[in-house]
Amino acid sequence: MEWFVRAFIKASLAWLAAGVTLGVAMALVPQWIIVRPAHMHMNLLGFVAMMIFGVAYHLIPRFTGHELHSRRLAAIHWWLANVGLALLALGFLLVPVLGFRPIALLGVGGTLAALGAYCFAYNLWRTIDGRAELRAAERAAMERMQSERAGRLPMMSSRGTAG
Ligand code: HEM
Ligand code: HEM
């Protein structure tokens, strides 16, 4: 298992633990429902999305038979996703303390998390397509097989009619 697959799954579990803890706090102290966006994004962008990122980085190359397009981009994604979500969640959590929405913090956190998601989309898109030279080789092998098969068919049918 690649280190970033393990790191995404572990981050997902850590965000789940933090997210449900905040959920219990909100359930117990109704005034805390003001931090609901932090709870939601810890659980949805943290637990759900990071579990999907980790599992997808492991499975998509195996499903397609193509190597992951860029391991470096997957590592960059891990940092963007986690630093981004930490800043976004902190921004939502600071609303009741500051008495206003810290737009810059939310904006920076949100932008980093979104950049990470773009890296993920691009990396898996290119992985699904595979490398251009491999695609060309696959096509050439397929054409060779088809023409060999077409060349053999008349012989097989003439042998068939000859008994
Ligand atoms: C022990 C686990 C959890 C507890 C105690 C908990 C508790 C809460 C509470 C108290 C609220 C606020 C409800 C309100 O506005 O009155 C809430 C909202 C929410 N929770 Fe959780 N939660 C838990 C787990 C999760 C998980 C695992 C997810 C997602 C995977 C999640 C997603 C959400 C969402 C999306 C909302 C907002 C719902 C809305 O705005 O209508 N929660 N949760
Ligand atoms: C870069 C990633 C993301 C950013 C920057 C972002 C930002 C936001 C912001 C600023 C809000 C409004 C919060 C408020 O009411 O104060 C919001 C709401 C919400 N987001 Fe996200 N979000 C992101 C990703 C996601 C993802 C991946 C999910 C689900 C898988 C999600 C689910 C929701 C939900 C359910 C709401 C509440 C909508 C409502 O209250 O009607 N978000 N998001």
Per-residue pLDDT tens over the stretch 77-96: 999 999 999 999 999 999 99
- Measured from the Cα of 116, ligand 2's closest atom is 1
% of the chain surpassing 70 pLDDT? 93
Tell me the pLDDT band of 151, cut-offs 50, 70 and 90.
Answer: confident
pLDDT confidence of residue 153: 65
pLDDT confidence of residue 155: 58
Around ligand 2, the residues with Cβ closer than 6 Å are 37, 40-41, 44-45, 48-49, 88, 110, 113-114
Around ligand 1, the residues with Cβ closer than 6 Å are 20, 23-24, 26-27, 33, 36, 39-40, 43-44, 47-48
- Measured from the Cα of 84, ligand 2's closest atom is 1
Average model confidence (pLDDT) across the chain: 93
pLDDT at 157 over 90: no
Tell me the per-residue pLDDT of 27-80, one tens digit each, with 9 for 90 and over.
Answer: 999 999 999 999 999 999 999 999 999 999 999 999 999 999 999 999 999 999
Model pTM score: 0.89
The DSSP secondary structure of the chain, one letter per residue, reads --HHHHHHHHHHHHHHHHHHHHHHHHHH-GGGGGGHHHHHHIIIIIIIHHHHHHHHHHHHHHHHT---S-HHHHHHHHHHHHHHHHHHHHHHHHHHHHSS--HHHHHHHHHHHHHHHHHHHHHHHHHHH--HHHHHHHHHHHHHHHHHHHHHHHHHHHHHHH-
Number of the ligand closest to the Cα of 37: 2
